[in-house]
Structure 1
Amino acid sequence: MKKVENKYDLIVYGSLNMDYVGYVDKLPEPGETVASNSFNIGPGGKAANQVITAAKLTAITAMVGRVGDDHIGTVMKNELAQAGVDDDDVLVSPGIQTGIAMVSVDQTGNNSIVTYKGANAILTEEDVTHSLDKLKRAEGVVLQLEMDKQVGEYTIQMASDLGKKIILNLAPIVDIDSEVLKLVDLLIVNEPESSFLSGMDVNSVDSAKEAIEVISKIGIDNIVITLGGEGAVFKTGDIIKHYPASKVNVVDTTGAGDCFVGAVSFFWIRSGDLDLSVKNAVNVAALSVTKQGAITSLPSLAEYQQFIGKEEFDFHQLNISK
């Protein structure tokens, strides 16, 4: 009997970090030392946050990245496996430390983050090529740029050559090749990133709507600008629209942007409807900020269904099975 190969909604390429989080009354000024009221250690990293978000929303996922041969690396791979993410292509680098993030969170939930790439920095084009078999069986790919720029561009080109939907979260800000950027099917950026791409100061819904028009001239059909607590603005075709996020008790915004990326990517891959996907993803991200931590705050589909307060979530429109 012929073996049936797994198919994936999304393959996510990128970073895995352990987060060291201090909760403070206020974020320190340059040269200032502040004491934390509490401290937490938990798994994170942009790509890990994004792929686990999608998995908890019932996406079939795999991840490609690198960890070190330390205890943190073991914990990170276990976290992926527990969420149902295929982690076979999360490779272990001998003698290298797994990436870490040092996070400060103030009383309003705002944060400042310093990262050390560690094993994330040595992800190679060969590692990406190693995932080719999985990529052929995937609907789409998600990546950020917490990796070597050349590796990111290579990943986009390889996915494009295979006709896959490409979702790029341009974080951190990297000046990637303009011809490669045109290959992206869905671009997701925040205010500073959209300011970089547009040459404008993006700090409001109105300025985001202006900037998204400028960015679209790159040649990307689908663009989202995230605005934190103000939700997100998106453009698809001639449509530009803003969806505010639900008002919630903000505890910790760490990982909220990644939560949005994971949610909107999965919803869009399944439904093909960016409007519906953004509408739901802003609220998935809003739910995540009501808990501490990055991965520890990511909601399941059942939790999201309960949060939006509908007796029957519209699984049909998003093409998601219960």
Structure 2
Amino acid sequence: MENKYDLIVYGSLNMDYVGYVDKLPEPGETVASSSFNIGPGGKAANQVITAAKLKAKTAMVGRVGDDHIGEVMKNELALAGVDDDNVLISSGIQTGIAMVSVDQAGHNSIVTYKGANAVITEEDVTQSLEKLKRSEGAVLQLEMDKQVGEHIIQTASNLGKKIILNLAPIVEIDAEILKLVDLLVVNEPESSFLAGMDVNSVDSAKKALEIISNIGIDNIVITLGGEGAVFKTGEVVKHYSAPKVNVVDTTGAGDCFVGAVSFLWIRSGDLDIAVKHAVNIAALSVMKQGAITSLPSLEEYKESIHSNELDWNELNFMG
């Protein structure tokens, strides 16, 4: 039987409350916001909707509260074409939220409240097992109970599924579980934690790749914001620069990259192709405000590929 889904994504859904400021506040400092908006987000929701907007067949497993925000979040998934049957409603618990400040350079600082994301259970994973069986790969982050995250990895591994882990936020998970991951995607602070060194440049990221690969993971990507991303697959280590764009808001850009690279890698089987295009897709997202509201469609990416003279034939599987 042909698999129904390219990706099943486990994890968080949040409503983002975003204030745009001249500069991010120092401890104890109050700054005025020049503009403010409220919009849907959450790492997992951003990632699965990115993939869906690129025409991936997707499903999501997570939890929202029995509040208006939860209704809005489920509606966003449905509008994007994501199967949200396993996004469950928890009574008496608030849907997760994120409080975001964004400065004039597009840099952000974020405080999250897990809310219903904190009560995702191993039983939720079991309930979604049929979807996992019919998926090519599983994507997760760790805005959930650590044991549930480890259970997802173990369960997907037992079924022979490709496992993509975005180690965000930084959580120290069992080393034997980490070895089961097929593709690890981390940013500079997360890779610094894993490698035990300061990652702040392309060169230091390449060194960190070598150290992290000793865990036993064959495919690793370190994202570097405006510097693009470096990756290691087998013996190959490579860097792709991000295109120069007008940065408005970086909120959700890392999630956009994860969603794109996961889908492209699952479909093409080629991490080089996946990273090259995911860097460009994520760059489009920083040109708009918000998280989910900034995620580019396949049509928008096709237009950018034409202008950037990238090879569309590499991605003919996307339609």
What TM-score, normalized by structure 2, do the two folds share? 0.98
Alignment correspondent of 1:273: 270
Partner residue of 1:123 out of 107, 114, 120: 120
Note the C-alpha offset of 1:317. 2.6
- How far residue 141 of structure 1 moved from its aligned partner, in angstroms, is 0.4
Shift of 1:108: 0.3
Q: Which position in structure 2 is the counterpart of 1:132? A: 129
Question: Partners in 2 of 1:105 and 1:248 — Cα distance?
Answer: 17
Is the CA contact (8 Å cut-off) linking 2:3 and 2:136 kept in structure 1? Answer: no
> Structure 1 CA distance, aligned partners of 2:30 and 2:176?
45
Give the superposition deviation at 1:319: 4.9
Structure 2: stretches of 5+ with no match in the other structure:
none
Output the amino acid matched with 1:218. Answer: I
Distance apart, 1:6 and its partner CA: 6.6
TM superposition outliers: structure 1 runs of 4+ over 3 Å = 310-316
**Paired letter, 1:242:** H
Distance apart, 1:309 and its partner CA: 2.4
The residue aligned with 1:96 is 93
- Within-5 A mapping of 1:1-322: 7-310=4-307, 314=311, 316-322=313-319
Identity of aligned residues (%): 83
Q: Match of 2:201, as an amino acid? A: S
Cα distance per residue 1:257-284 (max 9 Å; x no partner): 0000000000000000000100000010
- Alpha-carbon deviation of 1:305? 1.0
1:71-100: CA deviations, max 9, x gaps? 000000000000000000000001110000
- Cα offset, 1:308, TM superposition: 2.4
Give the C-alpha shift of residue 316 in structure 1: 4.5
SS at match of 1:267: helix
Give the direction of change, closer, same or farther, for the CA distance of 1:321–1:264 in structure 2 (3 Å limit).
closer
Q: RMSD of the alignment, in Å?
A: 1.3
Unaligned 5+ segments in structure 1 are none
Residues 142-183 of structure 1 show CA distances to partners (whole Å, capped at 9, x for unaligned) of 000000000000000000000000000000000000000000
In structure 2, the CA distance between the partners of 1:223 and 1:59, relative to structure 1 (3 Å rule), is same
TM-score normalised by L of structure 1: 0.97
Question: For the residues of structure 2 that align with 1:248 and 1:117, how far apart are their CA atoms?
Answer: 32
